[in-house]
Amino acid sequence: MARLRGTVYEAFCETASRTSERDFLCVVPDTAARYGIEARTWTYADAAAEIERLRKRFARAGVGHGHRVGLMLENRPEFFFHWLALNAVGASAVPLNLEWRGGELEYLIGHAELALAIVPEVRVEALRSAARAAQHDVAVTTPNMATLEGVPTPAPIASIPDIETECALLYTSGTTGRPKGCVLPNAYFLEAGHWYLRIGGRAEVRDGSDRLITPLPMSHMNAMAFSTMVMILSGGCIVPLDRFHPTTWWESVRVSGATIIHYLGVMPAMLMSAAPRADDPQHEVRFGFGAGVSAKLHAAFEARFGFPLLEAWAMTETGAGAAVIANREPRKIGTACFGRAPADLDYRVVNDEGRPVGAGEAGELLVRVSGPEPRRGFFREYLKEPAATAEAWEGGYFHTGDVVQVDVDGDFHFVDRKKNVIRRSGENISAVEVEGTLLLHPQVLSAGVAAVRDDVRGDEVMACIVLRNPAAADRASLARELLSFCTERLAYYKAPGYVVFLDALPLTATEKIQRAKLKELAAACLSTPECVDLRALKKRPVSA
């Protein structure tokens, strides 16, 4: 494959020069209403003019190559325009979560050494306060940059931005400690877009005519790298939603003319929980791209809504360097299959001792690119953490922390995150599998499963449940019902030994369960009267 060149901004300009009147960015009415902005569509020409205006404004303020700029802009149109304008002057975009507060912002401002932060008016003082606490001088302004006079430090690099220039700094969720900053060069984003264009099969992208809708936040590599870049490189239109709203999802899909959707596993489950409608298959969607759909709901979703959900795997750290997708038949629906390794992926699946496991056995996935550039398409490093970067690449492979199985055909099947595997009486239990089963129960809105300590068995399974109708439930009776429901569908030892009912689960901005917080919550609930102890009922079935 020919080596890529240039920057994200240059890739946008190249597309805009040949497809100026095509749609680039669409804000649907529902998202516009939630943001309090106008519902409209920007062509590539419209976007190019706005990006050029911002580029000049940044240049006048001294923002340049080597600066990092925080963007607390959610999925608003301004995010795209500011990001591309910053890329044009060689500055790195650092997405900031609107929900972050004092300590979180203080850490990130100091760690990333932000030169500038662009935030809503209501968060300006919070950013300034966090900067003072971090003892870091940073300019803070609103999206219109009316108050921006300059940044406190000169741009440290005089050279012209290129493919190796840092394009963005994305922070991991920090579920096991402080968030790590993944340094992502232009190459990372360009590789992601070109990978998407190459994969074909059920995921074929049509030049200039596709419209991709995503509710994932632009602080997420899926949305910022894969979704946005494949539309820029193909001349398509990106349709960012403020977030996933199940009640208005199909309206947004239809009014936007979306032909591709990006999803996370929670979305299909919530959409399937709604009553079937005659117009369920009435849309223009050709395929969905995502991860985590319940194996038990996958086939039913496709039959009901009329398009394939193509399960894929990647991480912020791997980017497209080790991306895998089930985009060709047979996709082995219902087995958590996410496809097989592409020709340029070198991988190993190993046990806890680092030894390779056999076909069908579970182990941690280690990955790298085949050939002389084993880190092509991956993140560059964890910012200011050389030891953590080296540990992640121990032995020349990136250690993903994901447990998978590879079947005799060479197809990958996802098991769980290594740290989420529950070890009960010598048996390994996937929290994701148990959650997927609980979600099939008609009274369960969402479910999170975590390990709690057990003096006899090591770990026991605790299910944290959010109900559809909390007021109508007899909690103790329903907990026993959920135990029976699981034992009918799973090996008995995987069923919950404890059940606790909650108002909400701790979630990330991408609607994923915050596993570390869930584990802390489960441990805290263990000794409360609300926790239903089912261990005495959890028994090995009598053999026939």
Mean pLDDT of 207-234: 96
Highest mean pLDDT of the ranges 339-353, 472-486, 515-529: 339-353
Strands 211-214 and 458-467: unpaired
The residue with greater pLDDT, 529 or 419, is 529
In this prediction, residue 287 carries a pLDDT of 98
Contact 4, 191 (CB under 8 A): yes
- Tokens at 206, concatenated: 């049509």
Strands 345-350 and 362-369: antiparallel
Q: List, for residues 294-329, the tens digit of each pLDDT value.
A: 888 999 999 999 999 999 999 999 999 999 999 999
- Is the pLDDT confidence value at 198 over 70? yes
Q: Which residue spans within 388-535 are E strands per DSSP? A: 398-406, 411-417, 421-424, 427-430, 444-454, 458-467, 498-501, 532-533
Q: 């400690």: which residue's tokens?
A: 177
Residue 239's SS3 state is strand
In this prediction, residue 457 carries a pLDDT of 83
In this prediction, residue 407 carries a pLDDT of 98
Hey, what long-range contacts does 100-105 have (CB within 8 A, 24 or more apart)?
A: 101/126, 102/126, 102/129, 102/130, 102/133, 105/130
Residue 498's SS3 state is strand
In this prediction, residue 2 carries a pLDDT of 59
In this prediction, residue 518 carries a pLDDT of 94
- Dihedrals φ, ψ of 290, to 5°? 180, -155
Question: What is the distance between the terminal CA atoms of the chain, rounded to a whole angstrom?
Answer: 59
The H-assigned helical ranges of 91-168 are 102-112, 124-134
Mean pLDDT of 207-232: 96
Mean pLDDT of 64-93: 97
Tell me how long the chain is: 544
Which residue, 147, 146, 115, is CA-closest to 131? 115
Q: What is the mean pLDDT of the chain?
A: 93
In this prediction, residue 264 carries a pLDDT of 87
Q: Give Cβ neighbours of residue 221 (< 8 Å, ≥ 6 apart).
A: 170, 184, 192, 314, 315, 316, 319
- Is the pLDDT confidence value at 173 over 80? no
- Is the pLDDT confidence value at 19 over 80? yes
Residue 107's SS3 state is helix
In this prediction, residue 270 carries a pLDDT of 86
- Is the pLDDT confidence value at 428 over 90? no
pLDDT bin (cut points 50, 70, 90) of residue 176 is very low
In this prediction, residue 177 carries a pLDDT of 57
Mean pLDDT of 381-391: 97
All domains of the chain in start order, with CATH = 8-406 (3.40.50.12780), 425-537 (3.30.300.30)
In this prediction, residue 534 carries a pLDDT of 96
Mean pLDDT of 29-41: 98
- C-alpha 493/C-alpha 386 separation (Å) is 41
- C-alpha 18/C-alpha 11 separation (Å) is 11
Q: List, for residues 246-267, the tens digit of each pLDDT value.
A: 999 999 999 999 999 999 888 9
- Tokens at 172, concatenated: 């991991």
Residue 190: left (phi > 0), alpha (psi -120 to 50), or beta? alpha
- C-alpha 321/C-alpha 316 separation (Å) is 10
- C-alpha 240/C-alpha 83 separation (Å) is 15
In this prediction, residue 543 carries a pLDDT of 45
Mean pLDDT of 505-514: 85
Q: List, for residues 446-505, the tens digit of each pLDDT value.
A: 999 999 988 778 889 999 999 998 887 788 999 999 999 998 888 888 999 999 999 999
Contact 229, 193 (CB under 8 A): yes
- Tokens at 534, concatenated: 């089912």
pLDDT bin (cut points 50, 70, 90) of residue 544 is very low
Strands 362-369 and 398-406: antiparallel
Which residue, 64, 59, 80, 69, is CA-closest to 16? 80
Q: What is the pTM of this model?
A: 0.85
- Dihedrals φ, ψ of 203, to 5°? -105, 30
pLDDT bin (cut points 50, 70, 90) of residue 89 is very high
Which residue, 221, 213, 220, 222, is CA-closest to 244? 213
**Residues 13-36, buried b or exposed e (16+ Cβ, 10 A)?**
bebbeebeebbbbbbbebbbeeee
The two most distant CA atoms of the chain are separated, in Å, by 80
- Tokens at 224, concatenated: 């910022």
- Tokens at 276, concatenated: 């079937």
Contact 88, 56 (CB under 8 A): no
